[in-house]
Amino acid sequence: MPYSSHFHLIASKRLTLALYHRSNFLSSLLVLGVGGLPSGDAPNLLRTAILGTGSIVLLFIGAVCFDLCAHAQEKTELPFFKPFRTDTAYISAAEPWTLRLYAVNKHFNLRYGTLVSNQRMFLDPDRSIAAGLGVSRYLLALDLGLEIGRTRQKTKALVLFSNLFYGPHNLQLNAQQYTGFSKQAQQPLTSPVFDSSLRSRLIYLSYLHYFNYTRYSSPAPLTGTQRQLRSAGSPSFGAFLLLHALSSAVPVFPDTFLPMPEWLATATRTTIFSGGIMGGYGFTFVLPKSLFVNAAAALGVSPAVTHWADALYNLNSQQTLGWLVQAQAAAGYHGPCYYALITLQHVASYFPSQAVPATQLNLEKYKIAVGRKL
C-alpha cells in the first residue's frame, strides 16, 4: 500500500530555543501532575495517560501494518515519499515537489461556567501570528516560520500541531504548553486580569479512518500538493484521547465567581482526562475555475474524569460525560501550477457538571498558503 504523510511544524527563534532547553516537554505533558495533582495520584494518571495514548498510537500503527502486509506483493518505494493510489478521475497524483509561503495563527482558550447561575469565566492567552516558507515532497510537508505579531507580549507558548495521513488513516496530534492567561468573569462582568502564573498543558491525539479514501482526499485541502478533481465525500470513524492540566499560584476563580463550594474557591489546579470514539463525514465541492470548498467534522462521545485541588493538595474528583467535535474547513484555488488555500482546523470539547464548573476547551488553527508546483 503506498503511503502519504503530512507533517506541519512552526518554529520561531524563541520556539527553537525552548525545544533545545526543554527536551522533556512531552514527558511533562504526559505526567500532567507536575503542579497539577497530588503525588499520590500522579502515578495512576501517568499509567492511564500512557495506556490511553499508546492505545491510539497502536491502533494507527496496527492499521498501517495491516495495509502493508495485505499489499506485501506490490513493488513499493520508500513509504514516506510515495503517495497512495487513488481513483485518478477524482484525485490527482501528489506533486513530487512544491514550495509555498504561508501565515498561520494557532489559538487555545478555556471557558468555565455554572449550570445553575449562568456565570462564565474566560481564560485567553495571547494571540500570535507566524509566517514562513514550506516545502513538500509528495504529501510529506515541512513548514518553518518566524513569529511576526503578538497581541500583548505576555504569554509564553510552545505548540505542536501536526497531522499524519496514510491512505485511509488520519492521525492528529496537538501538544502544547501556555503560561500566562487573561482571566475575565461574566455575570457580573469584570475587567480582564492577567495571571502570569497560570499554566496550561495539553495533549490531544485522535485517529480517524476515512472509508472512501480513493475518491475523497482528506489531506488535499490542507496541503495543496494534491488536487480533488471531482466532488466527493467520505464517512469517517475513529477514537481520541485528551489530557489537560491547569495550575496557578493563586486560586483559579475570582471571588466574584459565586456561588461555589469552599474547596473550589481555593482551587489552584485542575486536571481533565478524557477519551472516547467519534465518527463523522467529510466532503469537498469542486467548483469551476479550479476552485474548491471543503468541510469535514467528527463528533465524539467523551467520558471524562476531572480533578480539582488546592495548594495543600486537597482533592475533589468528578466524573462526567461530555462531547468533542473535531472539524476542518478549507477553500481556495488549485490550478495546474499554483494553488492558494485558506484553512481552519478546530477541536472543541465540552464537559458539563453539576458539582463543579462546566469546562469547554477550544483548539484552533488558521492558515493561509500560496504555493507553486516545481
Spell out the domain ranges in the chain: 13-373
Question: For residue 328, what pLDDT is reported?
Answer: 95
Q: Which residue has the higher pLDDT, 26 or 334?
A: 334
What's the rounded Cα separation, in Å, for the pair 360 and 71?
Answer: 43
User: Could you report the per-residue pLDDT of 266-289, keeping only the tens digit for each?
Assistant: 888 888 988 889 999 999 999 999
DSSP structural state of residue 79: G
Would the pLDDT of 234 be above 80? yes
Residue 302 near residue 358, CB atoms below 8 Å: no
User: Could you report the per-residue pLDDT of 52-86, keeping only the tens digit for each?
Assistant: 655 666 666 666 666 656 554 444 444 444 556 78
User: Could you report the per-residue pLDDT of 304-315, keeping only the tens digit for each?
Assistant: 888 888 777 777
Would the pLDDT of 94 be above 60? yes
Question: For residue 233, what pLDDT is reported?
Answer: 95
Q: Which of 98-107, 148-157, 303-312, 362-371 has the lowest mean pLDDT?
A: 148-157
Question: For residue 210, what pLDDT is reported?
Answer: 94
- Give the burial string for 170-204 (b: 16+ CB within 10 Å, else e): bbbbbbbbbbbbbbbbeeeeeeeeebeebbbbbbb
Pull the grid cell for residue 40. 499520590
Question: For residue 133, what pLDDT is reported?
Answer: 92
User: Could you report the per-residue pLDDT of 108-120, keeping only the tens digit for each?
Assistant: 999 887 766 667 8
What's the rounded Cα separation, in Å, for the pair 202 and 272?
Answer: 9
What's the average model confidence in pLDDT over 146-167? Answer: 79
Would the pLDDT of 3 be above 70? no
What's the average model confidence in pLDDT over 141-157? Answer: 77
Q: Which residue has the higher pLDDT, 12 or 68?
A: 68
Would the pLDDT of 35 be above 50? no
Residue 137: pLDDT band with limits 50, 70, 90: confident
Question: For residue 168, what pLDDT is reported?
Answer: 87
Question: For residue 365, what pLDDT is reported?
Answer: 93
User: Could you report the per-residue pLDDT of 328-339, keeping only the tens digit for each?
Assistant: 999 999 988 899
H-only helix segments in the chain: 13-21, 25-31, 42-70, 220-223, 262-265
Question: For residue 350, what pLDDT is reported?
Answer: 92
User: Could you report the per-residue pLDDT of 173-231, keeping only the tens digit for each?
Assistant: 899 999 989 888 776 667 788 888 899 999 999 999 999 999 999 888 988 888 999 99
Would the pLDDT of 31 be above 50? no
User: CB-based contacts of 186: which residues, under 8 Å, 6+ apart?
Assistant: 119, 120, 121, 122
% of the chain residues with pLDDT over 70: 71
Question: For residue 208, what pLDDT is reported?
Answer: 93
Question: For residue 43, what pLDDT is reported?
Answer: 45
Question: For residue 12, what pLDDT is reported?
Answer: 34
Of 17, 20, 18, 11, the closest CA to residue 146 belongs to: 11
Would the pLDDT of 7 be above 70? no
